Amino acid sequence: MADTIAAVRGLVKDVISTENVPHLKGFTSLFKDQTDVLLVLDTKEELPAHALYLSANSSVFSGMLEEHFTSTACICAKDKLPVKIPLPDCSVQEAETFLCYLYRKYADPQLTTDSAKSIVKLAHKFDVGVALQQCDEFLAQQAAIETTLRTTYTSSGLYLYNSILWVSALLSSSPDRA
């Protein structure tokens, strides 16, 4: 029995590679080795994650994982293969951005409009309220900044255009231009 358990643990280590995974960067190897979920993209790429992180942040993940872990076929968490959860209609970049957000729990200081949109897309799908709130606030701030810049530019451009017309009219009506 001990040999079987050791073999399964070895398979799990082979199946879940946590090297160069952005959302696990900076964590200890012990933490990385405890991943028990694989998020499977349409491209068949698999991203390792932790059931506790996913279920703590998402009612949808929580429901999916609770169903799996309470099933009669489920054996001790240390000795089983990872749970595979599909992430349909999601690129690798979107999934990694979303997972980085979940694992850091706060909006990335390098958050961009594109990354916020990626996070919102998956946060809606998996009911991650904190992500929706923070990204919505960020996107609203970005929209306000863009509107201010557009208004300032338009006002400045209009002022400059009117000034050019005024000078042009002044020069064309000048008596010295005969």
pLDDT at 9: 45
Asked if 85 and 40 touch (Cβ cutoff 8 Å), the reply is yes
In a domain, 151, yes or no: no
Q: For residue 174, give Cα distances in angstroms to 26, 58, 80, 119.
A: 72, 73, 90, 61
Per-residue pLDDT of the chain (178 residues; tens, 9 = 90+): 445 444 444 444 444 566 667 787 777 787 788 889 999 999 999 999 999 989 999 999 999 998 877 765 555 444 567 899 999 999 999 999 899 888 876 555 678 888 888 889 999 999 998 888 888 888 888 888 877 766 665 555 666 666 666 666 666 555 554 4
Residue-level pLDDT at 48 = 92
**CATH code: domain of residue 61:** 3.30.710.10
The rounded distance, in Å, linking the Cα atoms of 79 and 9 is: 6
What's the confidence (pLDDT) of residue 38? Answer: 92
124 inside domain = yes
- Predicted local distance difference test score (pLDDT) of residue 49: 92
Q: Are 40 and 54 in contact (CB under 8 A)?
A: no
Among residues 128, 96, 124, 97, the alpha carbon closest in space to that of 110 is found at 97
Domain hosting residue 87, numbered range: 2-142
- The pLDDT assigned to 23 comes to 80
In a domain, 6, yes or no: yes
Residue among 131, 125, 129, 139 nearest 101 (CA) = 131
Residue 129 located in a structural domain: yes
Domain count, the chain: 1
Q: CA-to-CA distance for 76 and 82, rounded, in angstroms?
A: 12
- Residue 81 has a pLDDT of 76
